[in-house]
Amino acid sequence: MCRLLGYAADGTDMSLVDVLGDAAVEDFRGLSEIHHDGWGCALPADDEPAGDDPRAVGTGADHAGGRVYRNTVEARHDPIFTQLSRQACRGALWHLRLASSHLPVIVENQQPFHAHGLSFIHNGDISDDRGRNIVEHADDVIGRKDFLATGGRSDSALFFGVMLAYVRSGAPLDSAVSQAIGRLRAICPKSSYNCMIQSPQSTVVVQASGRVDVPPRICEIYEDYGREGQAHDYRTVRYREVRDGRGALHAVVAASSGFDQPEGDGWRELGNDHMLVMSNRDATYEVRPL
C-alpha cells in the first residue's frame, strides 16, 4: 500500500524538482509520514545492460551509470531524498512504502525492484478472496528463477517477476504488463495492480484496480494522521505534461494521489484498466486500455 511517482523526459535531463517544483516534491515526501515503511527511487542510464544482477542492487547502489536507491528509513527523515530529488536524468521512478499483509520491512522488499534493465514499483496488496497473500502460493504462479530474479520476497516482487517472464519470452514491455495483470487477476481479481515500470527507453504507468472503494484500513490510517481528506481518491493515478514557456513538451509525469494535483495545472486522471506509455527519449506518450 504505497505511493508511486514516475516521469519521462524528452532527452533533456530533468530532476524531480524540475518536473514538480519544490513545494509539490515536499508534499510528496511528506506522505512518508503515513507511508513510512521506507522509500526508494530509480534513475535510468543510457548504457543499462540487459543482464545485470538485481541482487547487487541495495541501498545506494549504482547500476551501469544509473542509480537505484532503497532504504527502510522513511523519506522525510532521509537526507539522501533531497540530494536525489535534484539529480537530473531523463526519467525516474519514486516509491513510498506502506507494507502490505504484514510483509517484512527489509531492504529486499523495498522498491523500486530492478532486474534486466527494468525498474518497477507497485501499489497494492495482492491477495485472494480468502485473504491469502499471493506469496503464500507463489510456486503456483511463477517459476522460482523469475521470482528470485527480482531480489524481493513480496507480492510486488512476484508481480514484477511475472512481467519479467513475459519480457524474457519476447513480449514488448507494454504487452508484458498487460499479460502479467491478466494472469494474476485470474487468481486475485479484486486486488490492485497500479504500477509503474521503466526501461532505458520507456515508462509504462498502469491504473488497474479490482475495487473502486477505498480499503477501510487505508481510511483509518489516514484518519489517524488527520489526513482523511486525502484518502477518498487513494486508488487514483493522474498525469500531466511538463512544458516550457514556449509550450514545448519536456516531460510527462504520473503519480498516485495524496498531494495536490489540480486540474487547472493540467493533471488528468488515468482511467481504471488503462496504461500510460511514455518515451524516455522524446516524452511522447499515449493512453491505451489494458
DSSP state of 212: S
Q: How many domains does the structure of the chain reveal?
A: 1
Q: Cell numbers 516521469 label which residue?
A: 7
Whether residue 130 is contained in a domain is answered as no
Whether residue 258 is contained in a domain is answered as yes
- Secondary structure class of 145 (helix, strand, coil): helix
Whether residue 284 is contained in a domain is answered as yes
pLDDT at 133: 87
**Angstrom distances, CA of residue 194 to CA of 2, 145, 189:** 10, 24, 13
User: What pLDDT, in 10s, does the model give residues 111-165?
Assistant: 999 998 999 999 988 988 888 888 888 888 888 888 888 888 889 999 999 999 9
Whether residue 152 is contained in a domain is answered as no
Confidence of residue 103 (pLDDT cuts 50, 70, 90): low
Whether residue 26 is contained in a domain is answered as yes
Whether residue 160 is contained in a domain is answered as no
Give burial (CB, 10 Å; 0-12/13-18/19+) of 256. buried
pLDDT at 53: 34
Whether residue 228 is contained in a domain is answered as yes
Q: Residue 243: which CATH number?
A: 3.60.20
Cβ neighbors of 190 (< 8 A, separation 6 or more) are: 129, 210, 211
CA atoms within a 13 Å half-sphere pointing along the CA-CB vector of 165: 18
Structural domain of 264: 3-115+198-289
Whether residue 158 is contained in a domain is answered as no
* Longest pairwise C-alpha distance within the chain: 54
